[in-house]
Amino acid sequence: MDHPFVKTVKCTGTPYAIGFTHGSAVSTEVHSNIKTYTGFYLETAKITWDQARERAVSQFMSLLEAKYPEILQEMKGIADGAGGGLTREDILTLNVRSEIALTNYTDGCTSLSQCTPGGEVFLAQNWDWLEELERGMVFLHIQPAGSETTFKFLSEAGIVGKIGMNNKGFGFCMNAIRSGAFDNTKFPIHVMSRRLLEYATSYDSAVAIIEEFGLASSINYMIADKTGKHASIECSPRGNVFILPQDQFVGHTNHLYGPDRPQKLVDHPAPNSFARLARIQELTAHDREHNLPTSFASLRSRLSDEEGTPYSICRNRPPGAVGMERMTTLSTIIMELTGCTGKVTTGRPCDDLPVVDWSF
């Protein structure tokens, strides 16, 4: 079923047509997100929206024109569809929010991948971010013209790629990493996320895409495919570090912990990132020791954990929080790759929430 208040937008056709449908359907949400990130850039990077746009254009426009022009066509469509004087450059500015500001500040997320003895392959994540973005979310279902790949993801309106899966049995989750490492000859995070959704058909092809284009800033991708191949990949402009599963499980939060980290790569995580990682590992070990099957329900239960609240896996806004500390869990995304199905909730998973089902 569709969500009662987060819109589901089905987009088909050329890149421009996909963007125009996206922007037209969630115009209010796109403008709301630009307002949110105008304040976000001012608070974290000390720059205005106009200055952020100048930075986005100077750093990434030439790169994308050369290596991914169709995504710029889609951004033009989003701007035209959303109206209100928005330009392609405004939508680009929204899509490089991680490169502009998350080198200074990071959101909080807990993710995991796990295979079951019966062969199921799960990806699961809590996405924690600014509470006002509850008003700016959208479910996007995209079928590009001439492609056999369709894909579904939960996004912020106006952003072209985020947590999701495709009909080839490939999917990924994302964990922000606060690090000053930056290289504008490589793809912005959300542009890379879109590239993976549209063109990765397996774990191996996803790794090849990441290695071909690289990441302009730091991110952890939790990737998996229907064959059961899965890992956590700490990506940065200085190289990629693979964290392989143990006991068919790997978890990640918002700090680097993989082996053989690239030289001079430094992250600046919040203390709760370490606690959340330890806790999701503990909960997974508990389920395994008690022979509790991994399922949509058991994964949601783990992601509903409130130990250490408000900075828990299921995060709540801290009392009196202002500025960037006003984060909460905005959504829980759980995907099973062998059957190409998913279940998504918006809000804190420990609450009673409507469930959106994904299938292909």
Predicted confidence (pLDDT) per residue in 13-69, tens digit: 999 999 999 999 999 999 999 999 999 899 888 999 999 999 999 999 999 999 999
pTM over 0.85: yes
DSSP at 24:
H
CB of 170 within 8 A of CB of 203?
yes
Q: Which residues, 6+ apart, have CB-to-CB distance to 67 below 8 Å?
A: 187, 213
Is the per-residue pLDDT at 1 higher than 70?
Answer: no
State the pLDDT at residue 321. 76
Residue of 197, 225, 202, 174 whose CA lies nearest to 18: 197
State the pLDDT at residue 102. 65
Distance CA 203, CA 226 (A): 9
Predicted confidence (pLDDT) per residue in 221-232, tens digit: 999 999 999 999
128 strand-pairing partners? 108, 329
Name the percent of the chain lying above pLDDT 70: 98
Please tell me the chain's helix, strand, coil percentages from 3-state DSSP, rounded to the nearest 5: 35, 25, 35
State the pLDDT at residue 246. 95
Is the per-residue pLDDT at 334 higher than 70?
Answer: yes
Residue 159: strand, helix, or coil: coil
Residue 103: strand, helix, or coil: coil
CB of 168 within 8 A of CB of 202?
yes
Residue 350: strand, helix, or coil: coil
Distance CA 316, CA 305 (A): 11
Distance CA 82, CA 257 (A): 40
State the pLDDT at residue 272. 94
Distance CA 131, CA 291 (A): 36
Q: Which residue has the tokens 């998504």?
A: 344
State the pLDDT at residue 2. 81
Name the percent of the chain lying above pLDDT 90: 90
